[in-house]
Structure 1
């Protein structure tokens, strides 16, 4: 009966995770990308590692809040613009694909990208590594998954969610000591930013621990999740896991 409950929970986790990812992607995309027709736009952002990132500015604070990696629709060498703030005029297509206007070159706005812009762009690289690490772990390629998770941490050690990601990999691998060390790091507040904690991933970790017979550790995970919940769905999920893990 307990195994059926866990299997049912796993199916629910996978479904909900997929739906939330779709909703998140849709919400994060600029409004002009969600349509099907090209839209003429002038984008401003930074060139980092040969890639152009359009940076969105919060009108209230006048600070960067989000960066979008733009796929150039033509062969354009951006090496001369590396590390600079530039603007480009052209057609923006779905999927963040951008075609530079004929006869127009990128215009340098600043000689260097400001720190706030670099910070939001860095988070894009971090998330790319984290997603790739999760996918590698699901394929049981744990060595590659850990390399990717560590790269994410090398870029930004303040995000608690990255430590949770790495703990998840360790637990799937069966390295419970290393997984517990990452969880302890988060629980003791050694990372500053807890806003990106994914309660669905915490539930996955809890289920992994339950399957391994480590119910006490699972309860600790659910308890930590409850403490950081900011939605009713999160609270219900963590509470359900807690009750299940308490059954002997």
Structure 2
């Protein structure tokens, strides 16, 4: 069912990102890429904060009210908004990179994960994502180098480490006879866990790899 909405956000890279703000602080917390159904001159709004009114449909599709057009709120997109949009783009590149790797399109997968790293080299999770691409490709040396980057603290933010990715890398290592490397990987993951589910998963993988 369409939902009547007024969305406010920024046009970046030829795409409209609706910004959700915290009702208490007013600070942006999430950016959603919205597909506006009508054809309008979106490049003319590049880098601006705009507001659109209309109907929001499933799949983040949006139909602007008949006869309506985007209203320019500001000629720029605020720094906080840009940072939130950047996070969304990074995650988009990482997820797409993983999907391409699973389809064995490794060159495209690496281009996407490298784009994510270019945007922010502090996120340890992106190095893990790229490591998995390398391991799936069979390039164990490059994969190990990315894991070493995380283990040695050369990236700062460990909050976005995906323990499911670590499990998948660990399984590849175990299946290739590199059980000691898998155990060290699980131990690193355990130290970085932010949830009980992660701790349970890493401990289970450790017990299995250790034969206990």
Specify if TM > 0.5: yes
Q: Is structure 2 residue 134 aligned with structure 1 residue 163?
A: no
State which of 12, 20, 32 in structure 2 corresponds to 1:48: 12
- Please state how far the C-alpha of 1:174 moved relative to its aligned partner: 2.0
Cα distance in 2 for partners of 1:40, 1:186 equals 45
- Please state how far the C-alpha of 1:221 moved relative to its aligned partner: 0.9
Unmatched runs of 5 consecutive residues or more in structure 2: none
Superimposed CA distance per residue, residues 175-221 of structure 1 (whole angstroms, 9 cap, x where no aligned partner): 22211111111122222221211111110000000011111110111
Show the counterpart of 1:61: 25
Q: What is the number of equivalent residue pairs in this alignment? A: 212
Give the TM-score taking structure 1 as reference length.
0.82
- Please state how far the C-alpha of 1:171 moved relative to its aligned partner: 1.3
Cα distance in 2 for partners of 1:88, 1:192 equals 37
Cα distance in 2 for partners of 1:142, 1:105 equals 41
Show the counterpart of 1:15: none
Q: Is structure 2 residue 195 aligned with structure 1 residue 231?
A: yes
Show the counterpart of 1:218: 182
Show the counterpart of 2:114: 150
Superimposed CA distance per residue, residues 86-130 of structure 1 (whole angstroms, 9 cap, x where no aligned partner): 111111111111111111111111110011111111122111211
State which of 124, 130, 146 in structure 1 corresponds to 2:94: 130
Unmatched runs of 5 consecutive residues or more in structure 1: 1-36
Cα distance in 2 for partners of 1:189, 1:87 equals 41
Change (3 A) 1:194 1:60: farther
Bigger CA drift: 99-108 or 185-194?
185-194
- Please state how far the C-alpha of 1:223 moved relative to its aligned partner: 0.4
State which of 137, 145, 148 in structure 2 corresponds to 1:181: 145
Cα distance in 2 for partners of 1:220, 1:137 equals 24
Show the counterpart of 1:12: none
Q: Is structure 2 residue 95 aligned with structure 1 residue 102?
A: no
Show the counterpart of 2:163: 199
Cα distance in 1 for partners of 2:138, 2:66 equals 55
Cα distance in 2 for partners of 1:108, 1:206 equals 49
Show the counterpart of 1:247: 211
Cα distance in 2 for partners of 1:143, 1:41 equals 40
Query: Greater share of helix residues, 1 or 2?
Result: 1
